[in-house]
Amino acid sequence: MVRRPAPPKLRRGPALVRALAAIVGGVAGLGLLGLLWPEPDRAIQPVQQLTPADLAKPPSRSITLLVIGLDSDRPGDRLNRAAPPGPANVDALLLVRVNPQGPLQVLTLPTNLAVQLPGQTKPVGLGRLYRLGGPALLADAVRNLLELDSGQPERYLVMGRSTLRSLVDGLGSVSANPTLALRYNDRSQSFSINLQGGLQRLTGSQVEQLARYRDPARPEDSRQENQQLVLRSLLREMALPEQLGQLSGLVKSLNAGVVTNLSQSETLSLLAAGLSHGETVQFSRVPLAPASANVPLRQIASTAPEPLWPAPPTAN
């Protein structure tokens, strides 16, 4: 019987080494590819940029809002933060028209404008009406003065100085560019203004200083110009994508410091329309006749345009 030779044994050593080397090389190659084309880090992926339209649905038509700024910290305070001390006075009066199809229109109303109330023998200042009859009486006088349609202004907002500070501080700060250094000190009010000129970031208390400053040579004009600067700065800051996400919570937190007939949803709707045009605002003012000696109240100038407030823009 012929015996067949046994099959040769396989040499596993070199083959196993080669296989392991191939695996290691493949893994290393994948690592090299990872260096050349790394997988994107999810933490640094761009997030969706918010726009004013994400706040709420804007109104379908123009809405008028009467903004009443007081010289007290809050509307319910018994005393103002001015001199002489006493009940709160209207320190700023703005009529705002929010247009879904165009920029904001803002009319600055002088608080020392003479108005004649029915049954009264002497005129009183427009700002005085708030203490006599609240927002309703003041809104009625503005409607008659400007010959607005019935029911306008449709909404009102009464705010003290602390609300302005809280709004700015809630945003972190705002960028503003005063053209000159502003200096003022009033010991009777324990209030001082100390602002540098030029582009800078301002805190809430600094924005209050800017809004309250009056140039002694042109007190009324400079005050209105500074208020316009503050409003533009606020609109520009609130329209930033990183600020839009917190506006809903910020508006809610400010509700305790204001008196208004605006709901939370209405406020966000007006912001959505107003911020969609950035800081583009059409400012107007009521021109006044020259002041008379020893008469604090002013009259409307004979050269004032008609109407005093331009009509809202029409839809294209």
| Domain encompassing residue 141 | 52-285
CATH number (domain holding residue 250): 3.40.630.190
Q: Per the domain annotation, does 73 fall within a domain? A: yes
Give Cβ neighbours of residue 146 (< 8 Å, ≥ 6 apart).
95, 107, 307, 308, 309
Q: Per the domain annotation, does 68 fall within a domain? A: yes
Q: Per the domain annotation, does 181 fall within a domain? A: yes
- As a whole number of angstroms, the distance between CA 267 and CA 248 comes to 9
Does residue 94 sit in helix, strand or coil?
strand
- As a whole number of angstroms, the distance between CA 183 and CA 190 comes to 14
Most confident listed range (89-93, 95-99, 222-226): 95-99
Q: Per the domain annotation, does 65 fall within a domain? A: yes
Count of domains forming the chain: 1
Q: Per the domain annotation, does 140 fall within a domain? A: yes
Q: Per the domain annotation, does 45 fall within a domain? A: no
Name which of 268, 205, 203 is nearest 237 in CA terms.
203
Q: Per the domain annotation, does 110 fall within a domain? A: yes
CB 170 within 8 A of CB 253: yes
Q: Quick: pLDDT tens for 149-204.
A: 999 999 999 999 999 999 999 999 999 999 999 999 988 888 999 999 999 999 99
Amino acid identity, position 231? L
Give Cβ neighbours of residue 232 (< 8 Å, ≥ 6 apart).
279, 281
Q: Per the domain annotation, does 294 fall within a domain? A: no
Name which residue leads in pLDDT, 162 or 45.
162
CB count, 10 Å around CB of 62? 18
Beta-sheet strands, E only, within 160-225: 174-176, 182-186, 191-195, 200-202
Crossing angle of the two packed helices 204-212 and 219-238, in degrees rounded to 10: 150
Q: Quick: pLDDT tens for 249-289.
A: 999 999 989 999 999 999 999 999 999 987 789 999 999 99
